[in-house]
Amino acid sequence: MLGRLLGHSQRVARPLLCPARAAGSRAKSARDAALQAADPGKEPFRNERRPTNFDKKVLVWSGRFKKEEDIPRHISSEVLDTARNMARIKVCYIMIALTVLGCVTMIISGKEAAKKNQTLLRVNAEKKAKWRAEVEKGQEAAVEKSQ
């Protein structure tokens, strides 16, 4: 950056921050090249895997494939991850819609109950009055038995 400000256009080689990572990537590319040289007709499976039945349903539901028969035998992990993320987003949208629908339903039922004068305070007061009456009857029955 300082070189650009001073007018130098040459790029300076920077030291690697993690030489072990660079060596690992070189080894991986060398291994892939060796596999390619050993069997030039086949490309090595890097991130490919067989989809399960659930994975096939997710791939179809996300719109990646039209039918389960269209899904190849091996698919890449990126395709499957993308399909899972799309399915996850669809499920979230459905849950949001159901939550909003439930809230609207509760608002409507609450307003109807308020019109009928069925508030929580009134319902609780009626329950407590009923319980007190039962307790008084029980006490009166106990007093009559003791006499």
Tens-digit pLDDT profile for residues 15-45 = 555 554 545 555 556 555 544 544 455 555 5
Gap between the Cα atoms of 26 and 20, Å rounded: 10
Task: Judge whether 79 and 55 are in contact, CB under 8 Å.
Answer: no
Q: Do residue 111 and residue 123 come from a single domain?
A: no
DSSP 8-state assignment for residue 42 = S
Domain around 126: 117-147
- pTM for this model (two decimals): 0.50
Same domain? 110 vs 121? no
pLDDT grade for 10, boundaries at 50, 70 and 90: low
Please tell me whether residues 78 and 94 are part of one structural domain: yes
Contact 73, 50 (CB under 8 A): yes
**Count of domains in the chain?**
3
d(CA 9, CA 91): 52
Residues 111, 130 within the same domain: no
Establish how many alpha carbons lie within 13 A of residue 35's alpha carbon, considering only the half-sphere containing its beta carbon.
Answer: 11
Q: Do residues 108 and 132 both lie within one domain?
A: no
Q: What is the pLDDT of residues 33-76, one digit of tens each?
A: 544 544 455 555 556 888 888 988 888 988 888 888 888 888 88
